[in-house]
Amino acid sequence: MNHSHSEPGGPDAELLAPTPVVELVDVSKSFGNRIALDSVTLSVRKGEVFGLLGPNGAGKTTAVRILLSIIGADAGSVRLFQQPLARALLDRVGYLPEERGLYMQHTVLDAMTYLGALKGLRDAELKARARVWLERVGLRDVERLPVSKLSKGMSQKVQLAATLQSEPALCILDEPFSGLDPVSTVVVREMIDSLRRAGQTVILSTHQMAMVESLCDRVGLLFQGKLLEYGAISDVRRRHSQIEVRVGAPSLPSLLTAARVEKDAEGTFRIALEPGQTPAQLLSQLVHAGTQVSRFEPVLASMEEIFIRIAGDVEVDS
């Protein structure tokens, strides 16, 4: 369907102007002499997975705490669900903090029903909803175990289930993959995908850049309180990429015009173009030389490369 002729306010209006769920405008916050956020402006759209990125101390936690009304901003404005930030709106928000906090002496089911009650679930649905979500994370059989008996990975999945059981419109997930084995990581990744498909909005904060690339629609990268990058993943990667292409071919012509040619582990050639040279010109050279080209694609910088380049030599969890 071509949306270019839609009338303003018509059925495709939301596609043209996605509804903002979170809006921060010129938000600043300092603690003593330390600036935690410096005039940060960003929005998170309905139904997207938004990556809130940055090294430790960049301002991510401060931004989330302001959004949750845990602390107030020094300047700027915050809107949630297109309304001025108010505590009554927070029942529609689920938050998984990086520092986990389940009551160790309680059973898993009791801990989940307590947290569900805090989010407004009624008595009749508390246990049923908790069991549905324990099933979804593959832990239906641990409901009677004390939380203290769970492994780190199991505890992590229980807390994620507890966060999502109220089916919040906005889910804020801080390092949701921490401590998970590969199988559990796939489960959590699929859950985040299913939230997006259901029209729920996710703010994902993680140091695992491969997950950011595969899950996030857009990202905001904070460094020392400033928003240094913001936009669609593909746009951010393109902005930080040199003009390079990956070429699959048995060999390359000896007189190929290029700034640099490297062969990678896949057996394809990674070719950096000269200033002013276009990918189309390179492809034309290859075709005219009779090269059997099986693959020809732009090479974009990975989010991990961009993260390190922007934030300096920081350690990124693999």
pLDDT in tens, the chain (318 residues): 444 333 344 444 444 568 999 999 999 999 999 999 999 999 999 999 999 998 888 899 999 999 999 999 999 999 999 999 998 899 899 999 887 677 788 899 999 998 888 888 887 788 899 999 999 988 888 889 988 888 888 888 899 999 999 999 999 999 999 888 898 899 899 999 999 999 999 999 988 888 999 999 999 999 999 999 999 998 998 888 878 889 998 888 887 888 888 888 778 898 888 888 888 888 999 999 999 999 998 888 889 888 888 877 444 443
pTM score > 0.85 for this model? Answer: no
Return the pLDDT at 83: 95
**By the 8 A CB rule, do 186 and 199 touch?**
no
Question: According to the model, what pLDDT value does residue 308 have?
Answer: 86
Query: What is the pLDDT at residue 17?
Result: 61
Count of all residues that appear for the chain in the document: 318
Q: What is the pLDDT of residue 152?
A: 83
User: What's the rounded Cα separation, in Å, for the pair 50 and 48?
Assistant: 6
Tell me if 192 sits within 8 A of 202, measured CB to CB: yes
Cα–Cα distance list, 238 to 28, 281, 303 (Å): 29, 19, 10
The one-letter amino acid code at 204 reads L
How far is Cα 158 from Cα 139, in angstroms, rounded to an integer? 8
Contacts of 170 (CB under 8 A, 6+ apart): 21, 22, 44, 80, 81, 92, 93, 94, 200, 201, 202, 203
Buried b / exposed e over 262-289, threshold 16 CB at 10 Å, is eeeeeebbebebeeebebeebeebbeee
